[in-house]
Chains A and B, each alone.
Chain A
């Protein structure tokens, strides 16, 4: 229904554009000094030369667009976009191999990455629109046949150059994503909508720049507007915090929910339509400074209606069908996943993210190959699921039993990899889960507390297995627990500081296992030994080294290494892993 209404509105606006000549009342910039002249102006009808004015507006847009490329502020804006692309698109993205590096996530961030460029475009175009006033050419221009409205249209049209730059930015994002980083997953309609949103933001900035120049002709106003938009947009866009809120769609940049967006219906196309309608509203406001005729009024009414319709549609709750579809995906991830199995290693991710299993396979092949053959024969699986259930859309939450689902995952022997962790952590967690599984240590906590593996040889074996395939530096960082982000003081983990003797390897959750500091040193030591020698030693009696009774000292002695220290005492409140 809304599409029909939208179509009617767009048709109406287009019709008004193409049939506006006969009823036009154009008002130029003749500045009368008394009311009598104002009333005389009102009688101006059937303004001639509209075609020439239109052509002049187009030419002016071309000229102003080219001038925009010489504007220092705009040039800075371009360099900012390049910097953003380099920092986030290449450096950051190449270091992230998880869900945050999916095309869906990446393209949804595109509007946010566009904001600095849009803000600077607003300032640059505002300066251009104020140029005649600033440099004293207004009097000359007032004596020329192009009306003030034509000049405004020319300035509005100069946004084409900013849109061309944005096209280049989007193309560069795609190219870098394809060629230099590990973006993966589907580019769905909502993602295309996100790209449209980024263009709509630039269009909004251009319209607002000209409108401000016409109504509040002071360059400082544009700067203030940027600040106000940043604060206001952020406030509205963040309504609801971590939880789902549709109201934030009314912001120019809504913050999408913290859970994976495969489980959200993102109305990005409607948001793009909403922003374009706002751009049109503001453009009409700019034109209305000089021209207040029926055409302008109709255009304004059409634009406001369009903005209202798009605003309404994008804040509608999701349909029952969508809620059921998402709830089914949440409840049964495997049924909605693409799985790959090779030599007993099974990796499953939702269909849209199937490509990430290739990354996982690269990471886990070496550790899996280091596991004792007997254990390996049983197979190991990683299944990707969404753990942030409390942040889902209410319509979805109503359809699932969060407690039951969490309990079932905890009790399940599969290795569940939640997508809340970013790429690096995701891979490390997979490695650790595999290492723990290889020696029968739990990969999920048995209760509210982790178990204590201090002094158990299998804890060291788990770390050795998990670090296989890494280079020496990465292995050392990994086993020391100093990998960026893995041992944040503000990690929000449920583990009391007095329990942490080894390292903490997961955030926002209770880890299944804790190590002693002495065992960490021991693990680092055996990682310096020849891998084949260690593997052969372990494989010779894998069952022994998987048993809780085998101690760190036993293992070190077997490998011919002097143990680093004595057995650490079990911290109060913990029990040894069984």
Chain B
């Protein structure tokens, strides 16, 4: 894929030939990608290069080669990076917290670093984003007193400061309970209104529920770039339900209703089932990953 003029003007994220290595390991290998408004999911196994790619998009990591334009500004110079960062919200994979700070103080601190320098407006904005993530009642508690899920919501809250045009979220729902995940989906769908959201997750349900577009990475390379429906469609005619596990099956697991779901070749006495996003994803990368990790 190469960027043409039309994508240059509409996409929030444009990567062209981006490569990033750690020593001899190629984390991101010549990735070219254009992402517009809406929620884009980034799927891939551990070590696929998702986090590295997101860090590049968050302007915290310089690529070894390639061009990056975010929100119409290049990351190649400080001026462009500052302009990008003013409209960027980022949740790192492992967000740290100033544990001695209250939730309010921490988000306020981030707001200062986001150059929201009017004190009253900043405090209003901090209260707003904490309210959005449902932390108003505990905002004056120290972060070390908050649960892991609450801390994750603090991380999300700081990313929402200033209603950014680009949200880069690295596994934002990790540690959230089901209710909070649903709440997150709700707020993200609201926040994504007109903004570009890039979301890395291992939760294929989140991708199916939230994303207009999904990108599957593996080995630093993009293996799929399309809609969630299209990703599920890759498994059309290859998802089967059977009473027992086929020993030769590539991927099979027992579902809640006692049936065994197979992805790939049909086992004996099986019936065809509707494919889901995870089926397409597993067909795309799952077998390779299982082989590499010696789980099978």
Contact = CB atoms under 8 A, between A and B. Distances in A.
A135 B96 contact: yes
B288 interface: no
Given A43-B77, A140-B92, A56 B62 contact: no
Nearest to B97: A135
A48 B82 contact: yes
Contacts of B98: 131-132, 135, 137
B262 interface: no
B62 A30 contact: yes
Nearest to A134: B96
Nearest to A44: B78
A145 interface: yes
A136 interface: yes
Contacts of B112: 56, 59-60, 63, 146, 154
Contact of B117 (A46, A56, A70): A56
Q: Which of B55, B62, B83 has the most CB of A within 10 A?
A: B62
Interface in A126-147: 131-132, 135-147
Contacts of A136: 94-97
A315 B109 CA distance: 45
B60 A142 contact: yes
Interface stretch (A31-39, A377-385, A486-494, A568-576): A31-39
Nearest to B89: A143
A52 B117 contact: yes
Nearest to B117: A55
A144 B64 contact: no
A138 to B, nearest CB: 8
B64 A30 contact: no
A371 B60 CA distance: 88
Nearest to B109: A63
A52 B115 contact: yes
Contacts of B78: 26-28, 30, 41, 44, 47, 147
Interface in B84-131: 85-86, 88, 90, 92, 94-101, 105, 108-110, 112-115, 117, 119
Contacts of A375: none
B115 A145 contact: yes
B199 to A, nearest CB: 16
A30 to B, nearest CB: 6
A140 B96 contact: yes
A119 to B, nearest CB: 22
B81 interface: yes
Contact of A30 (B59, B100, B101, B110): B59
A70 B158 CA distance: 22
Contacts of B101: 67
A63 B106 CA distance: 10
Contacts of B77: 40-41, 43-44
B92 A147 contact: no
A42 to B, nearest CB: 10
Contacts of A46: 79
B241 interface: no
Interface residues of B, number: 43
Contacts of B168: 143
B60 A143 contact: yes
A36 to B, nearest CB: 9
Contacts of B119: 59
A26 B80 CA distance: 12
A136 B100 CA distance: 13
Contact of A34 (B60, B64, B75, B109): B64
Contacts of B114: 144-146
A60 B109 CA distance: 7
A147 B63 CA distance: 19
Contact of B82 (A47, A60, A131): A47
A141 B92 CA distance: 10
A49 interface: yes
B58 interface: yes
A48 B61 contact: no
A59 B111 CA distance: 10
B153 interface: no
A37 B82 contact: no
Contacts of A266: none
A143 B90 contact: yes
Given A28-B81, A147-B82, A40 B76 contact: yes
B110 A144 contact: yes
Contacts of B86: 49, 145
Contact of A31 (B62, B85, B108, B115): B62
Q: Return the 7 tightest CB-CB contacts between A and B, nearest first.
A: A136-B96, A55-B117, A145-B85, A146-B113, A137-B96, A144-B113, A143-B90
23 contacts: A33-B21, A37-B62, A40-B77, A49-B115, A55-B115, A59-B117, A63-B108, A132-B98, A135-B97, A136-B95, A136-B97, A139-B60, A139-B96, A141-B113, A143-B59, A143-B85, A143-B90, A143-B92, A144-B110, A144-B114, A145-B115, A146-B112, A154-B112
Interface of A: 26-28, 30-34, 37, 40-41, 43-44, 46-49, 52-53, 55-56, 58-60, 63, 67, 70, 131-132, 135-147, 150-151, 154
Interface of B: 20-21, 55, 58-64, 75-79, 81-83, 85-86, 88, 90, 92, 94-101, 105, 108-110, 112-115, 117, 119, 158, 168
Given A34-B64, A140-B158, 17 more contacts: A27-B78, A44-B78, A49-B115, A52-B117, A56-B113, A56-B117, A63-B108, A139-B60, A143-B58, A143-B59, A143-B60, A143-B90, A144-B110, A145-B86, A146-B115, A147-B78, A147-B82
